[in-house]
Structure 1
């Protein structure tokens, strides 16, 4: 039964990755600055100021300065987009099972994604997206670490082995 569960989880991970790639790099996310050089594009489209976009969206929620769908989709969407990664990574890669290694791995992964979005012009580098994505993965990792999830998903022989 656990082998079937692992196969189901691996297949769902592949579909999750396909969905993630589709959201992040495909579709109609082309740039309005397509005539700019790459450096100019990155300068104009990027946000390197932490909480700049987040505070703008939070303010807009409270003062109604923009359609409520926009800040909610951006804030919640970026938070939950990487939430599953917090469960998949430590389940599928045993070495990523403590918060330090998990955080380091996720930071590298998210920075690579943000840079690829900028270079491919399929999005922009936004430190606030990175912050929300990282928070989402950490929430997922926290859920992964819950005892009942561990008992449900880890094989019995791994539950019996104590780590020192």
Structure 2
């Protein structure tokens, strides 16, 4: 268990480092070390979230199900919002996604706007819920709503702290200067993709 955990973290961080080196060479602006540091925080958050908190399915999990003769696709669905009321898990889902909403605008200028950040939070949450169709966990519309709300609160927290720590927030950010830098706008999705792949094959 610990070995697969460390493998997922190691693989994802190596891949992100390679991508950042390539981006730094191609980018029109200088990418500062603070961006790399907070990028490491993001990839750690993503891997830990997928591997430990939400129990994202892995290849070995699916192989084990096949060997035991169990179904790979075993959905437990809930499409009724707040059907069980507000529980502790509801609050935890909000808190769980706050770092995501905070780190995206910390790292990328494009995500210092509300809509792109909330959309990315929704997409990450949707990936988690789709993954849970292949586990014993429930795919719940409440999770989508609360995770997106957590992203919004994280974004608001960033806006407040960026006023207090303006110099630092400018050092952590990268932005597009021209068409050569267009890959930068897909940064969060590269991080999510790498984390998902690293966890799935770990």
Q: Which runs of 5+ in 1 are unaligned?
A: 59-70, 159-164
Structure 2 residue aligned with 1:89: 104
Asked if 1 retains the 8 angstrom alpha-carbon contact of 2:102 and 2:154, the reply is yes
Q: 2:78 maps to what in 1?
A: 47
How far apart, CA to CA, are the structure 2 residues paired with 1:37 and 1:91?
A: 38
Distance 1:131 1:25, change over 3 A: same
Match in the other structure for 1:110:
125
| Structure 1 Cα separation of the partners of residues 153 and 106 of structure 2 | 15
Distance 1:115 1:9, change over 3 A: same
**Structure 2: which 5+ runs fail to align?**
1-30, 58-64, 175-202
> Is 1:144 the equivalent of 2:158?
yes
Residues 90 and 96 in structure 1, CA contact (< 8 A), matched pair in contact too = yes
| 1:15 maps to 2:30 | no
Distance 1:148 1:101, change over 3 A: same
Deviation at 1:13, TM superposition (A): 1.6
Q: Is the 8 A contact 1:82 1:134 kept in 2?
A: yes
- Deviation at residue 122 of structure 1 after TM alignment: 4.9
Q: TM-score, normalised by structure 2?
A: 0.55
Distance in 1, Cα, partners of 2:173 & 2:50: 35
Residues 19-60 of structure 1: CA deviation (Å, up to 9, x unaligned): 101211259xxx9xx95673xx32xx211001113x1xx3xx
Equivalents in 2 of 1:76, 1:107: separation in Å? 17
Residue 98 of structure 1, CA deviation: 0.8
Pairwise CA RMSD: 3.2
- Tell me how many residue pairs correspond in the alignment: 133
Displacement of 1:6: 2.8
Closer, same or farther: CA 149–124 of 1 in aligned 2, 3 Å: farther
Q: Which has the higher contact order (CA 8 A, sep 6+)?
A: 2
Q: Deviations over 1:60-105 (max 9, x none)?
A: xxxxxxxxxxx32x12221111110001112223222211122222
- Give, in whole Å, the separation in 1 of the partners of 2:172 and 2:90: 38
What are the within-5 Å matches in structure 2 for residues 116-131 of structure 1? 116-118=131-133, 120-131=134-145
